[in-house]
Amino acid sequence: MKRINIFLVSLRYLLCVIPVLCVAQPKLNQDLYFDEPKLEKAIALQVGVEVRNLTSTHIRERLKYFELNDAKIRSLKGLEHASNLEVLILKNNLLTDLGPIAKLPKIKKLDLSGNKISNLGSLLFLTNKSVENRISEIRDSLGTTKTLDNEKANLLLEMTSLSGKELFANSSLEELNLSKNRLVGLSGIEHFVRLRTLNASYNSLIDLDGVGKLKSLISLHLQGNQLGIPESFEDLNKNKMYDMGEPFSDLSGNGKWDYDPLVEFNSTIQSLRNLYLYDNHISKLDSLGDFPNLSVLLLSGNKLNDLDGIETIRSLQKLHLNNNQISNLNGLQNLVNLTQLFLSENRICDIRALSKLSRLQSLHLQYNHIEDAASLKNLSGLKELRLSNNLIHEISFLDGLSNLKLLYISNNSLSSPVNLEGLEKLSSQNSLEFILFKEQRNRIESLENLVRTLSSSPNLNELFGKYLQNNGYDRFSDFLNTASVPIVEKKEYFVKWESILNRGGNLSDSGFSDK
């Protein structure tokens, strides 16, 4: 009987306690809140506590490095407590609002690539509440259809003035990656005064407002944008030029009509060493300022016709200009520190400007219409030379290139026995590691005469390039390689074009445009 009583007492005790144990325990810090459970879980794991035990103190004291990629998170709520965070990597998420991390004082590296960020506004913060309220009012007014265009212009000026005086940004940030987002402009970037690396590649940027004020920048990645496309405007006086006061599409949101993104570089950035501008729509370089320490400039995949403005950047060592519309190399002769120069897929026939670049080690000239390569004979430092798909018909210039390791010279006019024998001899030399010289064409006298005429005048070469472009060929090499025009007809056009150019006639009179 005594044992039964003890059992009943124990059972009664367990029945009282079990419900209490089964109830979920409250979180220790009710002030800490996350919109995203994935973010909360990842932070708890990083600081070494269970989610239910996570507090703002843990985040503040333990979180110095945090990374959460490909998690589809939309909110950073909860991260505002990470006041000692130095590195934050949040690649490939769905972020638009960066407000919770704007005031974190110690972040040095911030990677937000592959999100949905459309402007930098949420990364900046205001210290004056009345100013913040006024800017909010202005934004509301700008969003209504009742506000007149001239009123909008005044409101934009007021907002720019207020923002410039009162906005602040993280003063510790040194590396910022905003690639693959939805940025059209970079307004506000000038507030990140310690930035050394800025990556805004693969957005939709049309202007670089503020970038020129980043005096600590070393590397600037701007490839894969819309730089060089001017904002549209309403030409009220029909003069085909933008005039002050005319309405324009302020896509970048900076309150200014953007037509040349490179004007931002008129103020010298002494520290800049690497500038990546490839795959944009840049058509001229004459707005470039002086970059006394710039070593790498990548401009492939743009709309450049000439290189005016580049001659002052004498510190350049690596210059990429592939896939442009360059017909004149004037200015390159001043860049005597170049070791790597890429000029493939252009409209080049005259390469005499390269003859003094004695430090060159790698030179790419494929897919042009070069007939005479004698200017390369003194570039004894060359280790890599690519000349495929040109019109070169003799190889004596190779004799002085004693350090050459790689040579690509296929699809030229080197089919003569003398040239082929010379190339075979080169291929057997131990010093040359690789040579490719297959598929040589026979020489065509009328073609060579045409190219000599083009080489004699940069203006004629530019004119000829634009003419071919208007008729469906980006470069002369495209026309030479097409199978849609029989070789017999090509030869006829070579003769006609040379004659027209020499007498100053109109190339459309050749009849080719009618094809």
Strand 274-276, strand 219-221: pairing: parallel
Strand partners, 187: none
| CA–CA gap between residue 483 and residue 498 (Å, rounded) | 22
Domains (ranges, CATH) in the chain? Answer: 1-116 (3.80.10.10), 445-514 (no CATH)
Instruction: Report the residue count for the chain.
Output: 515
Positive or negative: CA dihedral 61, 64, 65, 67: positive
Distance between terminal CA atoms of the chain?
A: 114
| CA–CA gap between residue 81 and residue 314 (Å, rounded) | 48
The model's pTM:
0.84
Alpha-carbon separation of residue 83 from 62, 87, 411 (angstroms): 10, 11, 62
Mean pLDDT across the chain? 86
| CA–CA gap between residue 187 and residue 208 (Å, rounded) | 8
Cα-flanking dihedrals φ and ψ of residue 318, to 5°?
Answer: -130, 120
pLDDT (tens digit, 9 = 90+) per residue, 234-293? 434 544 444 454 445 555 455 554 457 888 887 678 999 999 999 999 999 988 877 999
Residue 367: predicted pLDDT: 98
Both tokens of 84, joined, read 């000692």
Neighbours of 382 (CB within 10 A): 24
Radius of gyration of the chain, Cα coordinates, nearest whole angstrom: 32
pLDDT (tens digit, 9 = 90+) per residue, 346-404? 999 999 999 999 999 999 999 999 999 999 999 999 999 999 999 999 999 999 899 99
pLDDT of 155 > 70? The answer is: no
Question: What share of the chain has pLDDT > 90, as a percent?
Answer: 70
Ordered DSSP codes for 158-196: HHHHHHHHHEE--SS--EEE--SS--S--TTGGG-TT-S
Contacts of 12 (CB under 8 A, 6+ apart): none
Cα-flanking dihedrals φ and ψ of residue 296, to 5°?
Answer: -125, 125
Mean pLDDT value of segment 330-344:
98
Would you put residue 296 in left (φ > 0), alpha (ψ -120 to 50) or beta? Answer: beta
Of 155, 124, 115, residue with least CA distance to 139:
155
